[in-house]
Structure 1
Amino acid sequence: MIVKCIDNNNCSTLTLDKEYPVIAEAPEYYVIFDDKNQETTCKKTRFTIIEDDYFTQKAKATITELNYQLENEFKDIKQFTIRKNSKGEIKEISVKFKYY
């Protein structure tokens, strides 16, 4: 997980608006490497989440599955539709899989 510092009051080892990787997470605290490369425990309220591992893992799994389907002539896909906006940018891809 990657978080960005939004409050560095009374903490000289954090830089405002800098991103930090999270080493461990507790209900109210993050353990991060601070500016001096020291493990530091800080309250979650000091940070905003930039990248969440859960969603990253889900996205990677989806991409892996779609790559597999592409390489195997869409053998498990029943139907898929692509929705684009007025600029032609892809906004949504809907995939229906065959159930066996």
Structure 2
Amino acid sequence: MKKLAKMMAVAIASVVLSTGSLSAVEIKKIHFLIPGGAGGGWDGTARGTGEALTKAGLIDSATFENMSGGGGGKAIGYLIENSKSNHGTLMVNSTPIV
């Protein structure tokens, strides 16, 4: 699980760094919306990624919110309905959710 989290952090960092010159907004904090309960796979992935990004100095802080229900549907619905106010929010998901 830690290896997966590190790989996710590298993937996110590469996207952030490769598009940094195109972006005028510097990302200081990320809020992870986790479509599952505490201690599950998505929870571990989000927390590991947040920890890796913070330790690498790519962001100042990471916060986490677990929202289980509907196999991830509750969380993605929430994210879509509140998209205008959820700047800096990432949802951890997998292919069945997408």
Does the alignment reach a TM-score above 0.5? no
Structure having the higher strand fraction is: 1
Structure having the higher helix fraction is: 2
Q: TM-score range by the shorter chain?
A: under 0.3
> Using CA pairs below 8 Å that are at least 6 residues apart, which structure has the higher relative contact order?
2
Taking structure 1 as the reference length, what is the TM-score of the superposition?
Answer: 0.24
